């Protein structure tokens, strides 16, 4: 196998695995007649996503905003604690605060 073909195979392999898993999933659901509430077929999942895409995207954006806000808040408090903990007294207070917050 030439290096160029090897590179193409490495690029295509994740997509081939995903497509293969979706085909196997669909086949298992159809062959064994699994109830949709137990294991819905990928085609049913996709159609439900298209039907409810507006509320799904709305809630996903809400979650994304909360996550970004939480990360930003953590960065700010981390920087403040790092800057405050540089001195001897600040280091003792920061250590005490961190040990106390572990119990919570």
Enumerate the domain spans of the chain: 1-51, 53-104
Predicted local confidence at residue 82, as pLDDT: 75
Consecutive sets of 10 residues in the chain, 104 residues long: mean pLDDT of each?
90 96 98 96 97 97 98 90 69 75 70
Distance of CA 80 to the CA centre of its chain: 28
The answer to whether 44 and 36 have CB atoms below 8 angstroms apart is yes
The answer to whether 30 and 41 have CB atoms below 8 angstroms apart is yes
N residues, the chain: 104
Q: How far apart are CA 50 and CA 38, in angstroms?
A: 20
Cβ atoms < 10 Å from Cβ of 54: 8
Q: How far apart are CA 79 and CA 69, in angstroms?
A: 15
Predicted local confidence at residue 97, as pLDDT: 74
**Total-model pTM:** 0.64
């Amino acid at each position: 196998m030439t290096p160029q073909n090897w590179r193409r195979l490495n690029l295509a392999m994740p997509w081939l695995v995903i497509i293969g898993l979706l085909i196997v999933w669909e086949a298992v659901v159809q062959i064994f007649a699994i109830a949709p509430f137990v294991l819905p077929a990928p085609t049913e999942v996709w159609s439900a996503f298209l039907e409810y895409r507006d509320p799904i995207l709305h809630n996903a954006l809400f979650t994304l905003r909360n996550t970004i806000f939480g990360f930003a808040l953590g960065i700010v408090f981390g920087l403040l604690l790092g800057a405050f903990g540089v001195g001897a007294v600040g280091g003792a207070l920061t250590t005490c605060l961190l040990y106390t917050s572990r119990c919570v």
